[in-house]
Structure formats: C-alpha cells, structure tokens
Structure 1
Amino acid sequence: SWKGKIYVRVGSTNRPLSMQEILELGQKLGKIRFDEQICEEASLDDIDWDFIKSEFIPVYETVSEKKVVGNPGELLESLFCIRDKKPTNAGVLLFGKNPQKFFINSYVALARYKGVVEDIERLDYKEFTGNLFQQIDNCDEYIKERTATMSRLLPYQVQRQDIPEYGLFSIRELITNAACHRDYFNQHSKVIIKMFSDRVEFYNPGGLPAGVTPKNITEKQFSRNSIIAKVLAKVRYIEELGEGWNKIIDEHKKHPLRPEFPKIKADDYSVLITLFSTKEKFKKKIAIHINERQRKAMTYIEKHGRITNKEYLDINKGITARTALNDLNDLLKKNLIVGRGEKKGRYYELQ
C-alpha cells in the first residue's frame, strides 16, 4: 500500500486496486466478514422475539445445561447478533422475522427431477425461507420425506433392517453447511439443491477459502461466517470443532451399502457437493432374493414404465392370480416397486 492505496503487481507495473477489488480481497482473506456487519436498515423490531423465547432459548438452555440470565436482548448481544442496539447481519439471518426483506436471496431453492438430468418438467420446486433455523429444519424434513428407506431381512433375524437411501446426517449437515458458510455478500445467487433419481446436488454461492481444497477439506477448519457458525453450534446444528465432514465420511463408510463418497467441485465463486443414491446398489443386492417371475416383471417395468396384475399374468403363463399378487406384494415389501391406483386400475412402477 502507498498513501492509502493498495496496489497489485501486473506485469512490470503496479496497479491500484478498486474499492470492489479491495472488498473482495478482504473477504477472501477473512478480514471482512458479512455476519459481523451491522444491518443498518434493520431495527430491533425486526427481530422475532417470540421465536427466540419459545424455540431458541429452551434448546440453548438444554444444550448448555444452564439458564439464560437476563433478557433475550442481552443474550443476543453476547452472541454478537446485536451491536450498538442494532441487529448485525447474523442477527437478522438467524433471528429476523423476515430476513429476505433485507437479503433478498438468503433462502434455499430446491428443484426435484424424475430422472438423472435436469428437465423442463420438474416433479416439484420449493423455496425455503424464514430464518436460518427454519430453512434448515424445513428443507431437511422435505428431502428426507422424499428419499427412500429400503428394508431387507437379515439372516437368522426376525426384524427387518431399514436402510436409508442417503446418510441422514450427511443430508442435514450439507444443508446446514450451505446456510452457514455461503457467501452472503453475493446477493445475486442463493443456495440451490437439486434432487435427481440417482443423486442430490448442493450448490453453495462462494468458493472455498484460501488454503482449503476439495482434497484437504476434512483436515481444515474454516468458517466464512463465524458468528452464524458459533450460534448454530450452540444449539448443535453444526459441529463446533468443525468435525462435520469427518462425520459425513464416517457415515458413508458405515452405511450398509457403502455409497460412493461425496463429490466436491469448487471454483472461486461456488462449491458443488454431490451425494449419491444407494437405490441401485440395493436393487442389485436384493435381486438375488427374487424369483424368475419377479425378474421378468422388473425387466418389463424398465422397458414399459409400469406393469399391471394382468400384464404380470401374461408374461408369466400358467401361474394363478394369487401367485401374481404374492409376487408383487413381495416386490413392494422389498421396496423395489411402488403401487399406484386402486383395485382394477392398480399398476406398479419402479421405486
């Protein structure tokens, strides 16, 4: 720097950085943090005090094993969510009545597709708004309700083993990481989650910090928004010691179907993390426990998209309607197919 200006070497000359470049450099080096700044347009009336009293404080007291002394405002000051009688950006995002009023793209957008590629016709599209706790909880619940839980009988055991399509901790941790560590300076983009039949993709605005790469992410601890991270850790939404990635890897190693490890792609502006489904692995494992008639039916559905009871009888000549129904019910129990419709209009599709 020289006379209040910061210069960068370009070839054989020194060029002064613009204010925007200085800001971006400060962000990258962690010298300027979004969540620490006071939200000038907000007031304490924009804080959801009812949420703090009825939902946040009870959990905070349970986790910390001590009663909150003083009023909620003093608690938020101690958490750096209020400064100089004004909410910080962290305070608005964590406890605001309507954070999107101040930060238009501070929400999670989720698109769900039927197949393995993006299609014009989506199965569903949702936007999860509200404070960060609400976004995380509602998005987590939505994804888990729309992913499979597969069951299988274990040798010499009466009880079935339920196997989730994805690691349940991994889903929640990646949603929380996206909400916590995204680049909130960039209000032109938002957290985007895409659900496909074979994977879930988590897109996060903001590249990895300096020194952190997809290869060493499990060894490095970082937080782009340290106040938000600390508050989330206080109520166990994230791991305070930055152990979340290690737990994700550990969950994948212990999963009965050994799913492919998450894939991480990153550049200077975004991070894309992909979780891979275990449904195909489950089908291959369970396939040895289905009979030849059921195999024919699975092949038929793959080719035609569905099968009815009548079609099951047609491709398996000589069997009774009772046998066909038993076979189909067995495939339903094994979570290989799903039934649609009632009585005469009933048909079956791949799960």
Structure 2
Amino acid sequence: MCDVERLISTGENEEIEFKENFDFNGILETAVAFANKRGGVILVGVRNNGAVVGVQIGRETLRDWANRISQNTDPPVIPELEVEEVNGKKVLCIKIDEYPVKPVMFRGRAYLRAGSSNKRLNAREIAELYYRSIRHSWDYITVNAGLDEVDFGVVGKFVEAAKSRGRLNVPDGEDLETVLEKLELVRDGEPTRALILLFGNDPQKYFPHAVVRIARFRGSEIEDDITIDGNLVNQVDEALKFIRKHINVRFRIGGKAQREEVWDYPPEALREAVINAVAHRDYAEPDEVQIKILDDRIIFWNPGKLPFELKVEDLYKPHPSKPRNKLIAKVFYYSGHIEKWGSGIGRILRALGEYNLPEPRFEEVFGGFQVTFYRDVYTEDHLRNLGLNDRQIRAVLYVKEKGSITNKEYQELFKVSRQTATRDLGSLVKLGIFERVEKGKYKLKTQHESNMSQP
C-alpha cells in the first residue's frame, strides 16, 4: 500500500512530490529526478499545500501513464502505480525506484532531486553522477601516457610512509608498479589521472589548470603571490609554506616551561583547508585552486561545488565522507594527509574553536566551494590602533569573555554617566564592533559581519 495520507502528512521532500493534475512534463522530470537519487513517490491529485483534490482514473489511465513514463525515459524507468481513495477522492500514487546506473534522462535532459525540487544537471554534473553510479570517479580514468611519466622515487617515499603508518600492507620485495596496480592507480598498464596528478613528473603537461594560486593582499593591492605546480603533495606543502610566511606567529610559555608557537590561525585548520581544496576540487573544471590572504581573513576557493548528497549546512554537523576524487583521497589517507574519512571539516571547526576564533564560513560561490577563516581582530593592540579609548577596549575584551554588555553594566564597570556610556557604546556600533541586540544590550558582531579591517 502507498499510504497516501501518511505521505501527505509528511509533506514534499526529497522523496515525495505532489501534483494537482496530470502534468506530463512535471511528472516525467520528477520521475527522472527520483530515479537519479534514491527513488520516491509522486502523488497525483494533491495540491502543493497537501489538499486532496483527486483525479479521474481508470484502468486505461494507469496503463497509459506506465507506458508514457517508461517510453519517455532513457534508460526506461518502470514505475509502480496504485490508486487510493482519500475522503472519497482518488489519488494516483506513482512509485519510482532508484535506477542503478545513472543518469536517467527525459528528452535528453537529466534531473536530480534536491530538497523538494528538481535540479537540471549540466554536462559536468552528469559525468560526475555517472562516475558515482559505477562507483568510480573522474580520477579513475586512464591517461594516454607511459609509466615513464611517473616519478617512482616519490612513489617509493609514499609507500614507505603509508607502511610506517600501518595503513598500507605491502609484501617485502613487491615492485612499485604492482603496488600501483593494486591501488588502481595503474590500469591495463596505463597511468590513471590520479597517478599523474599525485606522482607525475609533470602533471601540468596533462592538466594545466591543476595548480594552486595564492596571493597576499594589503588592502586591494597584491603584496606577494605565487603559482604552485608539480604534484599534489608538493602543492599542499608549498601552499602551507607560503601561508605561514604571510601570517603572524607569537610565542607563549606552555607546560613544563616550554615555548609554544601561537599563529594567527591554527596550523591544523590551515592544513585541512588546503588539503580539502586540492584533494576534493573538480579537476574537470578549467580553473585553479585560489587562496587569498587578507589582513583579517583567509579565503580558500576550489572549482567544483559540494557533492550532490551534501548541503552547506550539513558541514557543521557529523556527515559522511563523499570524496569527488576517490583515488586521490585514498592516497592522501594512506599517506596521512587525511587522518580519518569525513573528519576534515570537524577538525577545522574544532581547531578554530580551540583558538577562540569565529566559525568559518562555508559557501558555494562562483561555481565552486569556498571556505573563509576569520582572524581574531579584537585584540588590544588593534583596538588601540582604531582609536578606541581605554574604557572601550576593556569593554570589548569584557564582551569577548562574557558574551554581552548592557548600558548599565558599562556605567558600573567604568564609573561613568549614562550619557558617556551611551556615547561610547554608540561609537562601537558605528565602527562595526558591537551590535545592539535588544534595548540597552550589546554584543560583538561576528567578524564576517563586521566592517572592521586590519591596517
């Protein structure tokens, strides 16, 4: 049984769609979208708001719609059709199963269910959907090149590192080409795209856009920049060196009187952000990974949006690993660059939290995925450079610790009149440091909302 009433009470979502009438294009697009995702149910005779209006249905109607769906989808989708009555009105239930090999198309177009709507896929997304359905990825395809294009010295170092971490079991004496074949990095004697990118002598010969561009900005002017090529591990290492060169580090005495380095941003978070950008980017797109270092933030952008199964809001909670480039991700895991599947974003959030820095901003913008880290600009030195008086500086540091301050608290802390407190707090609001959240109460603006900037 379809259990129409239960489905209506659930509402439209990734697996349920309401149709008021027999909308041919709408039903076929949704059938294809369901077949390309996890399957779903189309209820015909139900308005978007869940009101049942019913439809006229006979035996011929059922047979006709089963034929129309199968004949207009490629490969053919075979639906299950049932009719149920709700309050004396007939509702047609069209059940669509997930199709094993994707994409399924309608009139040469592929659709994918996203929330309660259908998304039309472009050529790149269709290719990615196909690779995923056959449990492969873009980097699995072979390159028309010989193994002389591979730096076996680098391969050997990788194998030793993976063995020392206990992540790769290689029998003594096994030759490196056999190891690469077992890792699926070599197929039928030819290197895969992953192998060239990871261990090639000159990966940019085959993939010229597989580089990382980094720039240090001072205001709107570029102070220093670099384009990093070579294999992917080299790109990660060199990118981190450049970033460290252009951010500040100070020292503090830690446990056992040892000196500890404290950077503007936690090294662990920087490392994870760079690895994610390099390992999970879309290499089919003709763009580079771009990193911008500004006075108050660092922006990491890579070509390619999140995998179909993930939304931006999912990143702030535990989520499964969905690597776009499965072979590249596997090698990064074996080498220790990826500590644990699906843990990278969590490590970033935890590391920034331990540094008392704001949460990063995750966005799908400019056809790619972007992560922004925000520096703690609410330091005593910087606040003094902005021209704040001693009371205002102490007030900002107070709010950093306590979370908020009221006009009355300001008066009591600094032994000033209400008029002075109002003037000081108003100035902090104008500078974009505080925001007024309710009558007489102020808190710090999140740094990506603030109009503050470092000198």
In the superposition, the TM-score normalised over structure 2's length comes to: 0.55
Q: Distance in 1 between matches of 2:301 and 2:209?
A: 14
Larger Rg: 2
Q: CA deviation at 1:249?
A: 1.1
Secondary structure at the counterpart of residue 308 of structure 2: coil
Q: CA deviation at 1:124?
A: 1.0
The superposition leaves residues 244-281 of structure 1 with CA deviations (integer Å, 9 ceiling, x where unpaired) of 111111112211xx111110111583111001112543
- Assess if the C-alpha contact under 8 Å between 1:200 and 1:275 holds in 2: yes
The superposition leaves residues 86-130 of structure 1 with CA deviations (integer Å, 9 ceiling, x where unpaired) of 000111111110110001100101111013xxx3x4111101111
1:240 and 2:340 equivalent?
yes
Q: Distance in 2 between matches of 1:113 and 1:33?
A: 36
1:24 is aligned, of 125, 134, 146, to 125
Q: Match for residue 322 of structure 1?
A: none
- Assess if the C-alpha contact under 8 Å between 2:73 and 2:107 holds in 1: no
- Equivalent residues, number: 277
- Assess if the C-alpha contact under 8 Å between 1:165 and 1:279 holds in 2: no
Q: CA deviation at 1:7?
A: 9.4
Q: Distance in 1 between matches of 2:312 and 2:212?
A: 23
- Assess if the C-alpha contact under 8 Å between 1:140 and 1:172 holds in 2: yes
Q: CA deviation at 1:153?
A: 6.8
Q: Distance in 2 between matches of 1:44 and 1:157?
A: 51
Higher relative contact order (CA 8 A, sep 6+): 1
Q: Match for residue 94 of structure 1?
A: 198
The code of the aligned residue for 2:249 comes to T
Q: Distance in 2 between matches of 1:282 and 1:231?
A: 44
The code of the aligned residue for 1:235 comes to S
Structure 1 segment 119-268 matched on structure 2, within 5 A: 119=220, 121-151=221-251, 162-186=261-285, 188-217=286-315, 218-220=317-319, 221-255=321-355, 258-267=356-365
Q: Distance in 1 between matches of 2:362 and 2:122?
A: 27
Q: Match for residue 61 of structure 1?
A: 163
Secondary structure at the counterpart of residue 142 of structure 1: helix
Q: Match for residue 308 of structure 1?
A: none
Comparing 67-76 with 43-52, greater Cα deviation is found at 67-76
Q: Distance in 1 between matches of 2:149 and 2:343?
A: 33
- Assess if the C-alpha contact under 8 Å between 1:5 and 1:17 holds in 2: no
Q: CA deviation at 1:162?
A: 3.6
Q: Distance in 2 between matches of 1:160 and 1:51?
A: 34
Identity, % of aligned positions: 27
- Assess if the C-alpha contact under 8 Å between 2:272 and 2:347 holds in 1: no
Unpaired segments ≥5 residues, structure 1? 9-13, 296-349
- Assess if the C-alpha contact under 8 Å between 1:191 and 1:205 holds in 2: yes
Q: Distance in 1 between matches of 2:206 and 2:147?
A: 14
- Assess if the C-alpha contact under 8 Å between 1:128 and 1:138 holds in 2: yes
Q: Distance in 2 between matches of 1:126 and 1:113?
A: 12
In the superposition, the TM-score normalised over structure 1's length comes to: 0.70
Unpaired segments ≥5 residues, structure 2? 1-69, 78-105, 111-120, 394-453
Secondary structure at the counterpart of residue 183 of structure 1: coil
Q: CA deviation at 1:43?
A: 1.3
Secondary structure at the counterpart of residue 298 of structure 2: strand
- Assess if the C-alpha contact under 8 Å between 1:6 and 1:16 holds in 2: no
Q: CA deviation at 1:152?
A: 5.2
Q: Distance in 1 between matches of 2:380 and 2:147?
A: 52
Secondary structure at the counterpart of residue 279 of structure 2: helix
Aligned-CA RMSD value:
3.4
Q: Match for residue 181 of structure 2?
A: 77
Q: Distance in 1 between matches of 2:372 and 2:358?
A: 10
The superposition leaves residues 298-322 of structure 1 with CA deviations (integer Å, 9 ceiling, x where unpaired) of xxxxxxxxxxxxxxxxxxxxxxxxx
The code of the aligned residue for 1:166 comes to Y
Q: Distance in 1 between matches of 2:129 and 2:369?
A: 15
1:48 and 2:151 equivalent?
yes
Q: CA deviation at 1:28?
A: 4.1
